[in-house]
Amino acid sequence: MLSTRSLRTADCRASAVARPRMAIGRGRFQVLCASNAKFFVGGNWKCNGSVANVRKLVDELNSGSVPRGVDIICAPPFIYIDYVMQHLDKEKYQLAAQNCWISGNGAYTGEVSAEQLQDFGVPWVILGHSERRSLCGENNEVVAKKTAHALAAGLGVIACVGETLDQRNSGSMFQILNAQMQALVDEVKDWSKVVIAYEPVWAIGTGVVATPEQAQEVHAYLRKFCQSKLGTSIADKLRIIYGGSVNDANCKELSFQEDIDGFLVGGASLKGSSFVTICNAAGPKAKY
């Protein structure tokens, strides 16, 4: 169960006027504060696409109208990064890699280092995605060390956390999230270029999406965790985004939740019009 957040102004997210609101979370009311973070939308293309498909998607994204007050990131497969870098509208979108190596350059066949990404001009990297954790055996410590190394190399990091359905149903969800976050806390020294992506594993690629209340509950919990470990000033500025079957039909309702600062989008990011719609879901959270 979540504990009730304090009503003290120090516990509210930074804003000119603290605006506490009530939201339901697992049967309890929580005192929350409206987000003041700049909205962030990431598109994770995963291992999808062909030359023709990527060209079409880039054209669709370039022709779409997106708010300038939102940070928008596209993460193509490594093989298409150069094309996307050359042709994607840099005024609207930034680039991310989907992974990087845990250390610097060396005899690591098949890997790409954070230093190489930075040298090539890729500013962001996604780390710790559940598919990397489950399919490639990346545990909490590996993800945390990768994150720290990427940050030291000058990259911004979208660090993913989330629980499986069994973990949620067994009541161990918060223990799993605590362990994932504590590993990051132990390694990361500068949080200014970190975005936390909460991705419930049971909602990734399944078409099942957490309800706005479920998502808000976990986002508030993660912010409370960061507040206790890192202090209010960091927790208030840290962007915590939601991933898990986000699409153009459910993004607006999710964006209304106080502690949801954006999205990490999978399948819908492969459809230009859908992704543009999601980017426009920021509403008043867009910061110009």
Active-site residues, by number, are 129, 199
Contact 223, 238 (CB under 8 A): yes
Instruction: Please classify residue 230 by burial: count the beta carbons closer than 10 Å to its beta carbon, then call 0-12 exposed, 13-18 middle and 19+ buried.
Output: middle
Which residue is associated with the tokens 């939102």?
A: 70
Q: Between the CA of residue 80 and those of 45, 150, 254, what are the distances in Å?
A: 11, 21, 31
Contact 197, 161 (CB under 8 A): yes
Q: First vs last Cα of the chain: how many Å apart?
A: 37
Contact 239, 195 (CB under 8 A): yes
How far is residue 159's CA from residue 226's CA, in Å, rounded to a whole number?
Answer: 14
Indicate the pairing of strand 20-25 with strand 28-33: antiparallel
How far is residue 216's CA from residue 109's CA, in Å, rounded to a whole number?
Answer: 41
